[in-house]
Structure 1
Amino acid sequence: MKKFNKPRNRNGCPWRFDLKMKLTTLLLLAALFQVNASTYSQNTKIDLNLNNVKVHEVLNEIETLTEFKFFMDTKEVDLQRTVSIKAKRETVSKILEKVFQGTNIVFKVLDKQIALKPGVKKEIVDQSSGPDIGLQQPTISGTVVDNEGTPLPGANIVEKGTTNGVTADFDGNFSIEVADANATLVVSYIGFSTIEVPVDGQTSLNITLQESAAGLDEVVVVGYGVQKRVNVIGSISQVSSKDIENRPVTQASQAITGQMPGVTVIQRTGRPGQSGGDISVRGVGSFGATPNALVLIDGIAGTLNDINPDDIESISVLKDASSAAIYGARSANGVILITTKSGSNKKFSVSYNSYVGFNEATELPEFANSWEYAEMYNIASGSNSFSAEDIEKYRAQNDLDNYPNTRFLEDLFSRNGIQTSHTLTVNGGDENNKYYVSAGILDQQGIVPKNSFNRYNFRMNLQNKLGKKFELNSRFFGSLEERKEPQATANKGGGFLDQLVQNAVRYPATFLGVDSQGNYGIGPESGGTPVAWLDSKSYLTNPTTKAGVNVKLDWKPNEDLVFSAIGGYNFTLYEQRSYLASQRLNEDVFLGQSYLNQQSDKTIFKTMQFTGNIPRNLVPTILVYWLDILLKMKSFPCLMDIVRILLVMIIPLWILGVPKISNLGVMMQNGPYSLSFPD
């Protein structure tokens, strides 16, 4: 007797689903969910009997009796209007029609969500909610093209004054619902002028955009010079000083948060002096090494938080391999180029920028009171550790020295920190010499006592023309920073976060902070509490000194050709002193011997770079000439020999005439060298 094996898939499963069965199952599930959403809105009926109540009370009652949730702009919908509603087994839509009768408020039901906003009331059939949800807004459709009739896919169409918007499809077609027939549409597209189109009761629009030469000719900073924005759209993002100058931030990395597509800034702490964000470009590129992007300040490697935000002229982010190629492997996670402000050839000017702000804890977790903790502790432990009499004394709060209700976290985050910043700049010059000088002071107080950050910074940027063919750019900068934090006592041996903050969350309210005689509670571990540690002589101070110079010499043999030599020197002295003190809590308890930890790190960074621009149309000729020389050599030259050969070839070619310029970058920094021919 023959046996036939059932067909199995590669995983050994005897069942087999072809593509049609999978699609049928998927569509069936989607239909079931849609029917369920529509059925709920049609079949849900409630009873209401409310007299002389506010509109928001009616909406709250509906949310309580049903699964509906309301969404609205409270500036557009009057929730304080008084109404009376009587309903017997009526749908929510019928009730809402009564509530907003005589007003211009319309509503739309989507699944179990109801949106309220001003609009034109019109009886229609709502496809998602049933025939009795009868309100709709005008729908405008149309096409967006350029002046030659070519569709513009991805064009943005936004209702003016709102966040309501859509994008055109591949053929330039769009469809958008607007609040009323007299709305205005704002249409924009990269490289084209933005226009406003009034609807004027029309339902179909054909929109033509005109090219914007200004936007296409705008230049952005890239690794090997500047490029027209039209050539690098998508690979380069840039923000200017206007985008960040009004943001009251202490670290420059905070200023670009949300400013650039594809650039993510994660701020992991708000501690003064450590509130800078981690920057990743187009996601995380490495899990083993640091995912942070390479940061260059005027061509010299640094960190984004090394610079006063008021001194920044522009920030460019190179997001793809071609734009960042000149930096080699260091650019694997993207490159951030910061250009500082320069002097102008206008009259001497002085400017002053300052702000004052306050820091406070906006929301803290709610902890159990001491009597509540005592009751719950008895239940959880199955004991009578706290007697009924003790619990009543905790609740009465008449003897705080023996039956306290200490709020350790509130006592820790008790300060309203003041944050001030002052920047004074001097700017001026003439055709041949320009200068920009700035000095700034930042004082940031944290919301924890003894927690602060201070910074004093100085910058001087000079531009000098040395004859007709040479230009010297010199940039000098320096800063003094100091961060201070409170510490626990020596017996705890820990710092700010792992002792003060963590234990302020852990310690229950039944333990004493400080009594009326100035004695401190011993805490659950007989080592004190955060209240005592804050009053101790423990501290952490972290002074940092930074200084540097950046010099760039440009040689311009003619108007198109530029050779540059860049030299940089950065000095950083990082110091840290942590003192964990001894402390007497009361007459009977004295906490251990104090000790001091000191750390000092010095970093010196030196760099030398050479860059040059050569004609695009001569690149093939140079490469052929170079290969011919290499083939005739008996031994292969080193990289420095190749650079010398290139320079020898470029100078004669320039003498013969160079009509147009391309970019050739040659970088020499602490050893490795790289050549890059950008597009």
Structure 2
Amino acid sequence: MSRLRLPKMGLVLLGLLGQQLALAQSVVLARQQSKGSRVAQAAEGQKLKEVLTDLSRQHQVSILFEETTVQGITIPADSRLRSGKLEKQLQSLLKPYGLTAKKLNEQSYYIIKTPSKESVQPAAGQPEASLAPSAEGTLSTLSSMAITATAPPADIRVSGRVTGENGEGLPGVNVVMKGSIRGTNTDTEGRYQLSVPNTGTTLVFSFVGYASQEAQVGNRTTLDVQLVPDNKSLNEVVVVGYGTVKKSDLTGAVAKVGETNIKATPIPSLDRAMQGRAAGVQVVSNSAAPGGSSTIRIRGSGSVNASNDPLYVIDGFPTTGLNSINTNDIESIEVLKDASATAIYGSRGSNGVVLVTTKRGRSGKTVISYDAYYGVQTVRRKIPLLNARQFADFVNEARVNGGGQPYFDGSSADQPLPSSLGEGTDWQSQIFRAAPIQSHQLAASGGSDKSRYAISFGYYNQQGIILNSNFKRYTLRANLDNNLTSRLKAGLTMQGAFTTGNNAKTDVDGNGGGGVTSSALSYAPNFPIYNADGSYYKNTGALNGYGVDNPLAVANEITNVGTTIRLLANAYLDYTIIDGLNFRTSFGTDLQSVKTNSYQTRLSLAGASLAVVPR
């Protein structure tokens, strides 16, 4: 077994250092006690990084430092941090470790840096014992020696000036080291100073209204940067009714929803695409059924009796019936929110206008794309209800408290003892399911400088979480544009849609037996699903106080199928009179055929109660 042996000189030095540390600590404690000043609570055993973080929060300033500078430094358990100004606290805290704090600007930001001092080394011929300082400065000197021996290379001081496109200084520009939170801001003249760890550091300059710029320090100590205005958002084109305009020239209140936001989530109709994505636009779902519609309010409701719905304009043609529009065909949605919309569309635009622009072809090679997604919808949480045994105990207790006899007394098969019952029937599990949802679209676009086209076919299928509820949509769209002459343009937008879906009976209609969800919550858990002959179990006795039907019978035997066939077409002619002045005329049609089939079989309570009319 090997043992670690230290040289005699090392043992002597360690012993001497221990004595000097003990002596220094006793002197520091004696001085603190003799002065009788108020002392802040000790930061015992904390890392230097944690103490600096606490000071930053306490004084509400930013203290910036490099990780390698404070790495491995722990405050001794017997040290005390005096209360008072932050500058004095930092000085007393950092001095023992050869560190200093420097104020950067008037915002009271501090940066911790290592002073450029040479390491303490014994002079030639000087004995090692002479390295021991006086008792008063023992702790500070020894700690400084330890930090100097392990301190990283000194930081590189970089300064410069940030200017705009005209050479003026930009105040408040963020100057941050890339990949970290270490940085500073420029002063009123656009000047800055920052310490970086090495020449490979990259600085990021960012300011509101200007494009961000990166610059590597390299061997430079002076780094000047000129920022360029960011005109991307100001040059964005917005549809405003008569045509398009740059966002920088826009004076009205307009909210825009782009294609990226529209395709972010699977949605059945374009009204859901605006939900939570347009300021001042409130979208509330009227129904959770597959393909259910929504109510849209732009800056609230403006009338009590009249309609508060906005006007929908698709490719320049006013229309309704948004469920038949394929959201994958939409390029952008603009919402005109202020009163200026009435100058374009009259009183119809008093509640706001929703402008929908579909995708059109661009000159170039033919582009074929296929978009698809698939998902599953489930019930987030079922309502907790009593099982069969708990329900029987509850009914018996209620009857006894009312002065009667227990109902479940074991006298018949329909009235067994509660102890003989188990979980019973979970009616919510019988009517709810994991419902798939899927969407597919195949599109082709392209053309030349004179003729452009965009054709797409879409299929959307959403199954409801209630049995036999669903919504399906088939769409075919063609957008054609043609430059007849250098000044005359013509175009055609045409869409055919076929939608069909079955709406589950969810409304509560009194004597009609109630909806499927209300039945599932009200039907007793001790009722079976089917009778012995396979028919639905029905109970109209005392335990069915609401008179609801078997929930599974409501879901399976009541259908309400709606079918819509729609043709939406719009053509236009556009003539350029002079540059910037166009004459445009358009005409279109919106043809819809809607059919609804409702049927209730006699296997359901509602169907059996209908009177039979003889021929």
With normalisation by structure 2, the TM-score equals: 0.61
Unpaired runs of at least 5, structure 2: 1-40, 58-65, 76-80, 84-102, 110-161, 191-200, 217-223
CA contact (8 A) 1:370 1:394 kept: no
CA contact (8 A) 1:511 1:524 kept: no
CA distance in 2, matches of 1:394, 1:107: 67
One-letter code aligned to 2:314: I
One-letter code aligned to 2:248: V
CA distance in 2, matches of 1:159, 1:271: 52
Over 3 Å counting, the alpha-carbon distance change for 1:536 and 1:419 in structure 2 is: closer
What residue is the counterpart of 2:520 in the other structure?
Answer: 504
* CA-CA distance at 1:350 after TM superposition: 1.7
Over 3 Å counting, the alpha-carbon distance change for 1:593 and 1:265 in structure 2 is: closer
Pick one of 413, 417, 428 that aligns with 1:409. 428
Whether 1:286 aligns to 2:306 is no
Over 3 Å counting, the alpha-carbon distance change for 1:354 and 1:234 in structure 2 is: same
What residue is the counterpart of 2:578 in the other structure?
Answer: 558
Whether 1:216 aligns to 2:249 is no
What residue is the counterpart of 1:355 in the other structure?
Answer: 373
* CA-CA distance at 1:574 after TM superposition: 1.9
Pick one of 563, 568, 574 that aligns with 1:543. 563
1:50-129 paired onto structure 2 within 5 Å? none
CA distance in 1, matches of 2:428, 2:523: 9
**Secondary structure in 2 matching 1:409:** helix
CA contact (8 A) 1:540 1:577 kept: yes
Over 3 Å counting, the alpha-carbon distance change for 1:471 and 1:516 in structure 2 is: same
1:100-179 paired onto structure 2 within 5 Å? none
**Secondary structure in 1 matching 2:233:** helix
* Worse overlay, 530-539 or 449-458: 530-539
* CA-CA distance at 1:221 after TM superposition: 0.8
CA contact (8 A) 1:489 1:533 kept: no
* CA-CA distance at 1:101 after TM superposition: 12
Whether 1:514 aligns to 2:530 is yes
CA distance in 2, matches of 1:425, 1:571: 24
Over 3 Å counting, the alpha-carbon distance change for 1:536 and 1:157 in structure 2 is: farther
1:591-670 paired onto structure 2 within 5 Å? 591-593=608-610
What residue is the counterpart of 1:236 in the other structure?
Answer: 254
One-letter code aligned to 2:530: V
**Secondary structure in 2 matching 1:583:** coil
- State the Cα deviation string for residues 125-173 of structure 1 (Å, max 9, x = none): 99xxxxxxxxxxx99959x9966769899x99999999x9xxx9xx999
**Secondary structure in 1 matching 2:390:** helix
**Secondary structure in 2 matching 1:347:** strand
Whether 1:319 aligns to 2:337 is yes
With normalisation by structure 1, the TM-score equals: 0.56
Over 3 Å counting, the alpha-carbon distance change for 1:579 and 1:566 in structure 2 is: same
**Secondary structure in 2 matching 1:501:** helix
Over 3 Å counting, the alpha-carbon distance change for 1:101 and 1:290 in structure 2 is: farther
Pick one of 266, 269, 294 that aligns with 1:277. 294
One-letter code aligned to 2:537: Y
CA distance in 1, matches of 2:177, 2:305: 46
CA distance in 2, matches of 1:139, 1:249: 52
1:263-412 paired onto structure 2 within 5 Å? 263-274=281-292, 276-303=293-320, 304-322=322-340, 325-380=343-398, 382-383=401-402, 386=406, 405-412=424-431
* CA-CA distance at 1:256 after TM superposition: 2.7
**Secondary structure in 1 matching 2:267:** coil
CA distance in 2, matches of 1:505, 1:572: 39
One-letter code aligned to 2:473: R
* CA-CA distance at 1:550 after TM superposition: 0.2
One-letter code aligned to 2:517: V
**Secondary structure in 1 matching 2:578:** coil
CA distance in 2, matches of 1:578, 1:369: 34
CA contact (8 A) 2:204 2:212 kept: no
**Secondary structure in 2 matching 1:330:** helix
CA distance in 2, matches of 1:579, 1:332: 41
* CA-CA distance at 1:501 after TM superposition: 1.5
CA contact (8 A) 1:582 1:591 kept: yes
* CA-CA distance at 1:491 after TM superposition: 11
What residue is the counterpart of 1:435 in the other structure?
Answer: 453
* CA-CA distance at 1:263 after TM superposition: 2.2
Q: What do you get for the CA RMSD once the two structures are aligned?
A: 5.2
CA distance in 2, matches of 1:514, 1:158: 71
What residue is the counterpart of 2:116 in the other structure?
Answer: none
CA contact (8 A) 1:489 1:594 kept: no
Over 3 Å counting, the alpha-carbon distance change for 1:395 and 1:183 in structure 2 is: farther
Over 3 Å counting, the alpha-carbon distance change for 1:325 and 1:439 in structure 2 is: same
* CA-CA distance at 1:430 after TM superposition: 0.9
Unpaired runs of at least 5, structure 1: 1-92, 111-118, 127-137, 174-181, 199-205, 597-679
CA distance in 1, matches of 2:53, 2:530: 59
Whether 1:582 aligns to 2:599 is no
CA distance in 2, matches of 1:530, 1:357: 30
What residue is the counterpart of 1:670 in the other structure?
Answer: none
* CA-CA distance at 1:214 after TM superposition: 3.1
One-letter code aligned to 2:424: N
- State the Cα deviation string for residues 577-607 of structure 1 (Å, max 9, x = none): 211221278xxx99323789xxxxxxxxxxx
Whether 1:533 aligns to 2:553 is yes
- State the Cα deviation string for residues 19-59 of structure 1 (Å, max 9, x = none): xxxxxxxxxxxxxxxxxxxxxxxxxxxxxxxxxxxxxxxxx
CA distance in 2, matches of 1:444, 1:521: 31
- State the Cα deviation string for residues 521-563 of structure 1 (Å, max 9, x = none): 3171595634342465321101111112101101113333210
CA contact (8 A) 1:470 1:556 kept: yes
Larger-gyration structure (1/2): 2
Over 3 Å counting, the alpha-carbon distance change for 1:595 and 1:465 in structure 2 is: farther
CA distance in 2, matches of 1:435, 1:424: 14
Over 3 Å counting, the alpha-carbon distance change for 1:340 and 1:388 in structure 2 is: closer
CA distance in 1, matches of 2:215, 2:241: 40
Pick one of 560, 580, 592 that aligns with 1:572. 592
CA distance in 2, matches of 1:590, 1:281: 43
* CA-CA distance at 1:441 after TM superposition: 1.0
CA contact (8 A) 2:511 2:547 kept: no
One-letter code aligned to 1:509: P
Pick one of 455, 473, 489 that aligns with 2:473. 455
CA contact (8 A) 1:449 1:534 kept: no
What residue is the counterpart of 1:254 in the other structure?
Answer: 272
CA contact (8 A) 1:488 1:538 kept: no
CA distance in 1, matches of 2:175, 2:303: 38
**Secondary structure in 2 matching 1:529:** coil
**Secondary structure in 2 matching 1:189:** coil
**Secondary structure in 1 matching 2:520:** helix
CA distance in 2, matches of 1:186, 1:514: 73
Over 3 Å counting, the alpha-carbon distance change for 1:328 and 1:378 in structure 2 is: same
CA contact (8 A) 1:264 1:282 kept: yes
